[in-house]
Amino acid sequence: EVKNTLRANKYSFTIHPDPRHLTDRVATRDPLGNDVLFLTEPTTFSMPASPEVKPLPVQESTDDEFDLTASPTRKNIGILTSGGDAQGMNPCVRAVVRMAIARRCKPFFIYEGYQGLVDGGDKIREAKWSDVSGFLTLGGTMIGTARCKKFREIEGRRTGVLNLIRNGIDALVVIGGDGSLTGADRLRAEWPEHVAALEAEGKITKEQGSKYRSLMIVGMVGSIDNDLASTDMTIGACSALERICESVDAILSTAMSHQRAFVVEVMGRHCGWLALNAAISTGADYLFIPEAPPKHDDWEASMCKTLKASRDAGKRTSLVIIAEGAIDRHLNPIKSEYIRDILATRLGYDTRVTILGHVQRGGAPAHFDRFLGTMQGAEAVEAILRATPQTPSPVIGMLENKITTQPLKEAIELTGQVAQAIEAKDFDRAMGLRAASFAKQLHAYKEIANYNPDSKMKLPEDKRLRIAIIHAGAPAGGMNTATRSAVRLCLNRGHTPLAVHNGFPGLMRGEIDELDWLSVDGWTIAGGSKLGTNRDQPEPQMGAVAYQLQKNRIDALLVIGGFEAFTAVLQLERARAQYPALNIPIVLIPATVSNNVPGTDFSLGSDTAANVIVQATDMIKQSASSNRRRVFVIEVQGGNCGYLAVVAGLSGGSTTVYTPEEGVDLSRLQRDIAHLRSRYVAELGRSEGRVTLCNERASKIYTTEMISQIYEAESGGFYGARTAVLGHLQQGGTPSPLDRCRANTMAVDAINWLQTRCWDAMEVPNEDGFRLPAGQLKRKYFPPVYASTPDTVAVLGVIGSEMRFTPVTDLVANTDFERRVSRTIWWLAPRQLVDILCGVGVDIKNGGCTTNYKSCAIELTADDLMRIYGQHRRLSKLIDPAELEKLQLAEEEKEATGAKASQASAGRF
């Protein structure tokens, strides 16, 4: 009609396709020469400067991917948070809401937890896409949580069922602690009974009763205590640890000034994870946790002796970390005030107590909690869509760096047994029910925390080693922490730690000196590289390297660094035949923000860098949001590895990410520009700020600046584009607690490995009875430590939740040396979520999505949990010694019967 009218009045006009409607936009000029744009919806402020860009069609999904456009059943999913709040709950809620919409489901907020479920009314309402904008940066829970006594009664739960049915909700996602999840599973078990009762009372119709015969429950653990036994990390634990470390790092400054002692109390009624990791991350001198109480009744004397030894060595401060649930071996509580009085009266220390309390629950979520909450939220929706009425209620967790779905009932039972074991004074069992890394971390902490000049750990003189430590490559958070832990462990065992300054050039020049206990004090929280580091390789001066190793009688070498360190270690291994002095055990601890070292899932510094990117993204988004119409293209590091861009893009809410693995081309830019324009048109006047993360080497042609210019040139006036280059900010700053804890564990494992390899290589066989080939010397003519086999040069990597040593020669085939990356890429699973959760390819109004998502969760059964946490047939039998004895007898009888049958069968043949 508009076109006909303009033609009839002889007005010239142009046609512009509308990417969101079947009709076109019509542009013309009024008699005064002003631009006029005719649309099929409310007016905008400007017309496009160039024709609209149409998105390209998306390829068909493959068989092993879920097609988001073809959900078998449309679900109405209620979302509630319950129990204590935890950072990361909001990112989790955001992921559930947006993934539900993308999967053609309808999400509902249930405000104030189970109280809102019972109250109903306006406490339950449909959630829209825009309702969760900005949730990533917010701590706590924006939909509220509350204690609800009514829900503990059957009538209260029946009222909750009625409210769910009235709102058409047939699935429930619960984010909370073990009590909240237990309540949800109980509600599901009682559901048929409640539906029948409501139908009999006439409160619901027969049709409603038939339609809502079952309820699907999915749980996610939001707990800062990290107290779910069957998961490595719970939502909120990492952020709470960051709050503790920030506070203690600040406390240590004033403690240093006044030579004070501080007793810091952290949360953890039945779980000492926060206290243990805070002690490791801050270099605390003493620790109290509920799972491992002091072994002796006179623990006060032992504590005072330990703290005094550190002070006598020259330390100016004393720091004691205590969990709120700390006890002695008789289950008597250990209070922070009591420890303060002991230190003041027995040692005369000026002692202060700091109880951090709810500070630990506050603040913006850390990168890892955002990442974990987002991944688990998306998988919760997938679990609902896969489930049948017979499927056990699952809880979404994380084991060995993989998202898992586990049977909720058994997971909660396993968790409850920790408190029961503590109550029964079975502390070994309590430790065994924690993650395998928990006991290992505690043992490592006890070895390193205190100065022990007369330690029982001191080794015989002939077992003591000279171990050199060198940094190579670019600096990364955690390098100094690993060095400190290695040095102190060496000193307590009687080894001599040697610092090699300024990388391999420093080694060639002989810049080597001994390190003592006090010289590495404070290195836990120090960023960068205290020893100095560079990218130079040893190969040009390998003779000088060998000379210095021999001159300084170095028995083993610990290398900490990135891909340059990896290639340097490989060069040392290949030069062994030419230089005998290189035949010593060598181990590499990967440390690089790029996370591109083969043989490991995580490198030291990568978590710190991701936190820096996420924090910068939050601040840049604020600027973009204030302007209402601005997109920032942020350049991040990573070399040819897109790890940082992907994980930080997911945690920071990036609209999309550009990585070297995917590359950048015009079709990709067209798709992204079309999405941006459609969103800014729809949000006109109330647009949120948007950011795009671009790896520094995503494309040689389409650089960060060029992408920004293309964005703006094709914006049609709906938005502007700017760039931000974070640069070396990502390599600096205080290491994150996760990097500090990994550094400590890796350093201890590295020293243990070097120690064992050296001792094995010190054995001299009796060669007097046989003749060696010509030109080959007998072993007794070589240095005391002579390790020439390939397995004595290794990379120490984090594979899942396990520390694994891989010979460097075995990693060559898995390495792309030209691009300087590993050929194994485990972190691409969340890539599609970045686009989906920011609306790329999603029909935000009607639901559905053209972007395919491949679920990455691993489904575990009760038997799987049994195999992981103990050799028992049923998790319910773990706590009962009598049942355990019966199972063991049954197993022995079964084995005996099998052996007899085998013997009889063998006799027949």
Active site residues: 225
DSSP 564-611: HHHHHHHHHHHTTTT-GGG-S-EEEEEB-TT---TT-S--BTHHHHHH
Whether 16 contacts 24, CB under 8 Å: yes
- Identify whether the C-beta of residue 89 lies closer than 8 Å to the C-beta of residue 175: yes
Kindly write down the DSSP assignment for every residue of 20-45, as one continuous string: TSSSEEEEEE-TT--EEEE-SSS--S
Helix (H) or strand (E) holding 738: helix 737-761
d(CA 565, CA 805): 16
φ, ψ for residue 262 (rounded to 5)? Answer: -125, 135
Q: Whole-angstrom Cα distance, residue 691 to residue 700?
A: 21
Q: Map tokens 């079947």 to a residue.
A: 22
Spatial contact of 102 and 836, defined as CB atoms under 8 Å apart: yes
The three-point CA angle 184-190-194 to 5° equals 115
* Residue the block writes with tokens 């440390």: 591
Answer for the pair 841, 850: CB distance below 8 angstroms, yes or no.
yes
For helices 737-761 and 273-282, angle between their N-to-C axes, nearest 10 degrees = 70
User: CA 133, 134, 136 angle in degrees (round to 5)?
Assistant: 115
What is the strand order of the sheet 802-807 is part of?
Answer: 512-514, 496-500, 466-472, 556-561, 586-590, 793-799, 802-807
**Taking a C-beta distance cutoff of 8 angstroms, is the pair 743, 478 a contact?**
yes
| Conformation bin of residue 553: beta by default, left when phi > 0, alpha when psi is -120 to 50 | left
Phi, psi of 37 (to 5 degrees): -125, 120
Phi, psi of 497 (to 5 degrees): -85, 135
Which sign does the torsion angle of CA 102, 103, 106, 107 carry?
negative
Residue 302, helix vs strand vs coil: helix
> How far is Cα 563 from Cα 595, in angstroms, rounded to an integer?
9
Q: Distance between CA atoms of 743 and 736, rounded to whole angstroms?
A: 11
Amino acid letter at 546? Answer: A
| Strand pairing class (24-29; 35-38) | antiparallel
Closest CA to 312 of 483, 522, 454, 482: 454
Question: Where do the DSSP E strands lie in 754-888?
Answer: 793-799, 802-807, 815-816, 821-822, 858-859
* Polymer length of the chain: 909
Strands 76-81 and 171-176, bridge-based pairing = parallel
Taking the alpha carbons at both ends of the chain, their separation in whole angstroms is: 95
Alpha-carbon distance 545 to 557, whole Å? 12
